Amino acid sequence: SMSFAVNGATKPQVEAASHASLVRVLVVSWGKITVSASRSSSRRLSSVAGQLATGWIVDYSVFVSLEEATSVVSAVAASSANTNLLEADLAVELVAAGVSSAEVAASLAVILTPTSVQPASNGSVCLQPQLPAGALQGAAWNCDSVDITGVVTCYVHCQGVDGVESAA
């Protein structure tokens, strides 16, 4: 997930800006990313004593082939370690979505949660925190795509050892 604080933004603006920024930072096509934003508690801004900014949590999923998974996870890790590029890109996108540039400049602060991929015993790639209920780590999985996400949600296009497909 990605979280940030910014004043004056609406949910549609946050989702549109986050989607566009993640497409560029993770170097994947638009249709491979889904985002969902929700307000979190307000955050105190370190740059402005006593001022609170509206907090946002953006849950995102990137659906890529097994071949693309490594580069996406690397991009998430790099962006998590240094959020400057993501923050600068998100600032541009928030303004493009209609958020006041003064609000963005005064209040934007970004945190990107890193994601890891866990290879399964059959060589496909599955995210460890997203194994369906009752699944065992290392069990055989048949995955057509990989859900790279910062949120514990679901398993996509995967069948567990019991043959039951997990819904997205």
Looking at the structure, tell me whether residues 102 and 126 fall in a common domain. no
Residue 136 lies in a domain: yes
Looking at the structure, tell me whether residues 97 and 140 fall in a common domain. no
Q: What is the mean pLDDT of residues 66-76?
A: 79
Domain boundary among 73, 96, 112: 112
Looking at the structure, tell me whether residues 53 and 96 fall in a common domain. yes
Q: Which two three-digit tokens encode residue 32? A: 């491979």
Looking at the structure, tell me whether residues 93 and 123 fall in a common domain. no
Range of the domain at 87: 2-112
The whole-model pTM stands at 0.66
Looking at the structure, tell me whether residues 68 and 32 fall in a common domain. yes
Q: For residue 112, what are the contacts with CB-CB under 8 A and spacing of at least 6?
A: 2, 76, 79, 80, 83, 86, 150
Distance CA 58, CA 34 (A): 10
Residue 168 lies in a domain: no
Looking at the structure, tell me whether residues 92 and 46 fall in a common domain. yes
Q: How far is CA 90 from the centre of its chain?
A: 13
Q: Is the pLDDT of residue 94 over 90?
A: yes
Looking at the structure, tell me whether residues 54 and 27 fall in a common domain. yes
Looking at the structure, tell me whether residues 106 and 128 fall in a common domain. no
Q: What is the mean pLDDT of residues 99-120?
A: 75
Looking at the structure, tell me whether residues 93 and 125 fall in a common domain. no
Question: Per residue in 22-67, pLDDT tens?
Answer: 999 888 889 888 889 999 866 544 444 455 678 898 888 777 777 7
Looking at the structure, tell me whether residues 76 and 149 fall in a common domain. no
Confidence of residue 137 (pLDDT cuts 50, 70, 90): very low
Looking at the structure, tell me whether residues 96 and 41 fall in a common domain. yes
Looking at the structure, tell me whether residues 26 and 106 fall in a common domain. yes
Residue 122 lies in a domain: yes
- Structural domain total, the chain: 2
Instruction: Write the DSSP assignment of 55-111 as a string of letters.
Output: EEEEEEEEEE-HHHHHHHHHHHHHHHH-THHHHHHHHHHHHHTT--HHHHHHH-EEE
| 48 SS3 class | coil
Residue 149 lies in a domain: yes
Distance CA 5, CA 7 (A): 7
- pLDDT reported for residue 115: 60
